[in-house]
Amino acid sequence: MKNNAKAALAALGLRVPELLLPKEDIDLSRYAVVACDQFSAQADYWQRVKETVGDAPSTLNMILPEAWLQNGEAHQAAIVPTMERYLREGILRSIGEGMVFLHRETASGVRRGLVVAFDLEQYDYHAGARALLRPTEATVESRLPTRVAIRKEAPIELPHVLVLFNDPEDKLMDTLETLVQSRKPLYDFALMENGGKLTGWHMNEENDYVNLSELLEALRKDAVDDMLFAMGDGNHSFAAAKLNWEQVKATLPEEQWEGHPARYALCELVNLYDRGLLFEPIHRLLMGVDAAAVCAELGLDPSSPPPLQELQPRLDAWLAEHPEAELEYIHGADTCRELGEKENNLALVWDSFDREGLFPWVAQHGPLCRKSFSLGHAEEKRYYLEARIIM
């Protein structure tokens, strides 16, 4: 039955991974750090993280924060040797096969998730693709080669990817919650820098896999255009893993594809309707413009802008004809409005993001325009913790 359940999960794009966690005497509050693409303009944040970590084992030593891209050559060069040392010295240890059910307590509430491996054969970031998992934002392919080069050399992966599924009644996570109620957590600790609290339970029993596959199969029956999953955070990391797998696959006979570690990538599954998952629109700020003239040319009422998917193509065309203007993407309505009060600026602010319309739109039209929405505040993004060997 267990193998049958795993086969059912495979048909849904999922694989039960063998996970790595730090050994028991590691301080997890110093080990886990937030996704590398957060606080990219706030070097002081990452300096505080570095001071907090000190000489302790930490995922900080296995990732390159984007805030350090300009002067992080030495840090980047040490990433793969650090991974190898953590494996060699037993700082990272296998907890065996299984998934991890998560509680993440943040200011937005308790977000529930499931760490699992996703089959990259069931994901496609190209325009028009009709895969089981689809991107919600267009992929910039020029950003992939550097990420692929890093993945090729790395012996392990650390995920910050959030993959969404569409479960309005939240049946799947409610069921998983029931299954772990009597189990001792794998970990339960406070995250640094106001990241909240993280608790995880191992899900490695036959009944876990059966329940998960049955619930996902039921959701698939209602999926529009057989789109069971949508990318939430980390599309370019997943796209790099996909491109790397395509390159590896080309060197292998087909009988070796199944089970190859490069074929899969770790992610956290989260319900689109999770009560602790905050969706926020990303606003637009035009700078170096005559606000009244722009509104007249584009027929805009800045107090009530049209839907972003309609407006962005018009903005792109207008910007191509006005190289003196700049477009910035702003998180936070109040911040955007405040910036819009400055001379030669124009703020375009939306009240909310329509999460209900996300899956139908992507299934019918493909990815949204870039920077359409954000999942939670920066400190609420996924922290690196679980790992998997990929070589």
Domain extents in the chain: 2-278+377-389, 279-374
Minimal CA–CA distance to 383: which of 194, 66, 159, 83? 159
CA angle 140, 134, 168 (to 5 degrees): 135
Alpha-carbon distance values, 14 to 5, 27, 115, 136, 320 (Å): 11, 30, 10, 19, 42
Per residue of the chain (391 residues), give pLDDT as tens.
457 999 999 999 999 999 999 999 999 999 999 999 899 889 999 999 999 999 999 999 999 998 998 888 999 999 999 999 999 999 999 999 999 999 999 999 999 999 999 999 999 998 888 999 999 998 988 889 988 988 999 999 999 999 999 999 999 999 999 999 999 999 999 999 999 999 999 999 999 999 999 999 999 999 999 999 999 999 999 999 999 999 999 999 999 999 999 999 999 999 999 999 999 999 999 999 999 999 999 999 999 999 999 999 999 999 999 999 999 999 889 999 999 999 999 999 999 999 999 999 999 999 999 899 999 999 999 999 999 999 8
Distance separating alpha carbons of residues 208 and 218, to the nearest angstrom: 16
Measure the CA dihedral 224/119/40/114, to 10°.
80
